[in-house]
């Protein structure tokens, strides 16, 4: 048994992972992101000050912790430099001493962002992506035409790979989308400039992570997005292009499965989703606006209003299975404080049948009717509660039901956005 832990989202992202990772980072030495890119937006509130993370692990607020952007990530250097500047302006120390970037992570280029937009326009069913070029960058990775962070530091290799890509993209984009084309020289100049600014952060993170592991240091793996956005296990095709669930850790860092001691799954006390795709428990009435306002449910990355709905225990139970969740963290309980009653989805009805699991067919999943179990609300402010026993009995009943249904013990309950607003459950 070891103390290394993973923190993963169990819904459609934005579960409050950033806040939980910030808290748990205090007890680890190294924080590693293993997938995704700046489609992620993790918010941490410390002493009333708000910090937004997109690429940099949320552990960076703790001085002395090493933060690693693993090889499974896709890195937009412009977004990264922007984030570094913003965090530094807020007083956060960022240097190669506490931030390292995998040389074999893939780089996002303007032609990826462009294609992300083009594909959204021509699809009959938009995904509602973040438009950051995430999917197209992973496409190039798997097509073996991607350019990696380390390639930027070898101008000869970089320019030759870039030339191949520009030739291919310009040909296709012109034919299919009527786009004028990208200037190879401009992109080369721009990216060689970025290379100069990021080179000191870039290294062989596989060796680095094995070294810290052998030294017995504790590692936290920071998941981005959530299991229902995982490209294999989520509501495909309305997903992101990486493995947000624990499986992504090993291919996304170079560390083996035995490194992982514990998996912590994070779920909101209700559900949200940004972008398109089925969402059976989505509120169809004024409740949506109420929860969106109370929960501040607007995207950290794109500012889009998040769709809101009741907690879907069927999906979370599935996510608990897929990730092998050892401990469940329930966030944003306080957002439900004023409600008369609260519902939890415990099954789906489809054409007169009852489904107990999440159906594969997206057409079926889009037309299921949730079966709810209704709980009385507690109508008490929970934001100042710091002990589980002190929660109103209705809130405890709600949480205990969720824990039992999804099959994971609750180790933390979050009752506000600040670092201090949390209940540790024995």
- The CA distance from 363 to 375, in Å, is 30
Taking CB within 5 to 8 Å according to partner kind, which of Mg ion, ligand GDP, ligand IMO, none is near residue 132? ligand IMO
Taking CB within 5 to 8 Å according to partner kind, which of ligand GDP, ligand IMO, Mg ion, none is near residue 296? ligand GDP
What lies within 8 Å, CB to CB, of 152 at 6+ separation is: 77, 107, 158, 191, 192, 194, 195, 198, 199
Q: Which stretch binds ligand GDP (CB under 6 A): 14-22, 106-114, 121-129, 273-281?
A: 14-22
334 makes contact with ligand GDP (CB under 6 A):
yes
Least Cβ distance, residue 171 to ligand GDP (angstroms): 37
Residue 425 near residue 278 (C-beta atoms within 8 A) = no
Options 22, 29, 42, 312, the catalytic residue:
42
14 is catalytic: yes
| Strands 202-203 and 341-350, sheet pairing | unpaired
Helices (H) and strands (E) in the chain, counts: 12, 20
Residue 181: count other Cβ atoms within 10 Å of its Cβ: 13
14 makes contact with Mg ion (CB under 5 A):
yes
Here's the x/- map for ligand IMO, 226-245, by CB under 6 A: it reads as: x--x----------xx----
70 makes contact with ligand IMO (CB under 6 A):
no
Q: Name the burial class of residue 257, with classes exposed (0-12), middle (13-18) and buried (19+) by CB atoms within 10 angstroms of its CB.
A: exposed
Least Cβ distance, residue 91 to ligand GDP (angstroms): 19
Residue 179 phi/psi, 5° resolution?
-90, 140
Q: Which stretch binds ligand IMO (CB under 6 A): 10-18, 97-105, 200-208, 213-221?
A: 10-18
- The CA distance from 135 to 313, in Å, is 29
Which of 99, 102, 195, 224 contacts ligand IMO by CB under 6 A? 224
CA dist 50 → 14, 33, 46, 61, 418 (Å):
15, 20, 7, 11, 9
Residue 164 near residue 61 (C-beta atoms within 8 A) = no
33 makes contact with ligand GDP (CB under 6 A):
no
**Two tokens, residue 117:** 């937009």
381 is catalytic: no
- Size of interface with ligand IMO, in residues (CB under 6 A): 24
Residue closest to ligand IMO (Cβ):
275
Q: Which stretch binds ligand IMO (CB under 6 A): 8-16, 44-52, 145-153, 335-343?
A: 8-16
Which of 36, 37, 41, 288 contacts ligand GDP by CB under 6 A? 41
Q: How far apart are the first and last CA of the chain?
A: 20
Chain residues in the site for ligand IMO (CB under 6 A): 9, 12-14, 39-42, 127-130, 132, 134-135, 224-226, 229, 240-241, 274-275, 300
Residues annotated catalytic, as ranges? 14, 42
């Amino acid at each position: 048994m070891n103390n290394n832990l993973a923190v993963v989202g169990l819904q459609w992202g934005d579960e409050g992972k950033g806040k939980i990772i910030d808290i748990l980072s205090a007890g680890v030495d190294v924080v590693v992101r293993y997938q995704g890119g700046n489609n992620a937006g993790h918010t941490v509130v410390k002493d009333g000050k708000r910090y937004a993370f997109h690429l940099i692990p949320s552990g960076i607020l703790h001085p002395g912790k090493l933060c690693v952007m693993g090889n499974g990530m896709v890195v937009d250097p412009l977004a990264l430099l922007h984030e570094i500047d913003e965090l530094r302006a807020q007083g956060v120390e960022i240097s190669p001493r506490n931030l390292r970037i995998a040389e074999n992570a893939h780089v996002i280029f303007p032609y990826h962002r462009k294609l992300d937009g083009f594909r959204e326009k021509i699809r009959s069913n938009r995904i509602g992506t973040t438009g950051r070029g995430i999917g197209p960058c992973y496409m190039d990775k798997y097509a073996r035409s991607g350019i990696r962070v380390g390639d930027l530091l070898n101008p000869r290799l970089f320019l030759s790979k870039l030339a191949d890509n520009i030739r291919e993209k310009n040909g296709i984009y012109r034919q299919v989308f009527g786009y004028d084309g990208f200037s190879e020289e401009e992109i080369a100049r721009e990216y060689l400039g970025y290379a100069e600014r990021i080179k000191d952060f870039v290294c062989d993170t596989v060796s680095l992570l094995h070294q810290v592991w052998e030294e017995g240091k504790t590692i936290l793996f920071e998941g981005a997005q959530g299991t229902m956005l995982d490209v294999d296990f989520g509501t495909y095709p309305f997903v992101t292009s990486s493995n947000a669930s624990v499986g992504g850790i090993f291919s996304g860092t170079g560390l083996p499965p035995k490194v992982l001691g514990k998996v912590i799954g994070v779920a909101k006390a209700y559900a949200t989703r940004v972008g398109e795709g089925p969402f059976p428990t989505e509120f169809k009435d004024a409740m949506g606006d109420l929860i969106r306002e109370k929960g501040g449910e607007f995207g950290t990355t794109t500012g889009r209003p998040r769709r809101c709905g009741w907690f879907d225990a069927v999906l979370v139970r599935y996510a608990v299975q897929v990730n092998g969740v050892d401990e469940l963290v329930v966030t944003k309980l306080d957002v439900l404080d004023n409600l008369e009653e609260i519902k939890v989805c415990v099954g789906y009805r489809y054409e007169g049948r009852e489904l107990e699991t999440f159906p594969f067919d997206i057409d079926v999943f889009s037309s299921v009717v949730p079966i709810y179990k209704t709980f009385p609300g507690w109508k008490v402010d929970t934001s100042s509660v710091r002990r589980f026993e002190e929660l109103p009995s209705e809130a405890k009943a709600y949480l205990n039901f969720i824990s039992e249904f999804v099959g994971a013990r609750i180790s933390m309950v979050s009752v506000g956005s600040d670092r201090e607003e949390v209940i540790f459950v024995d």
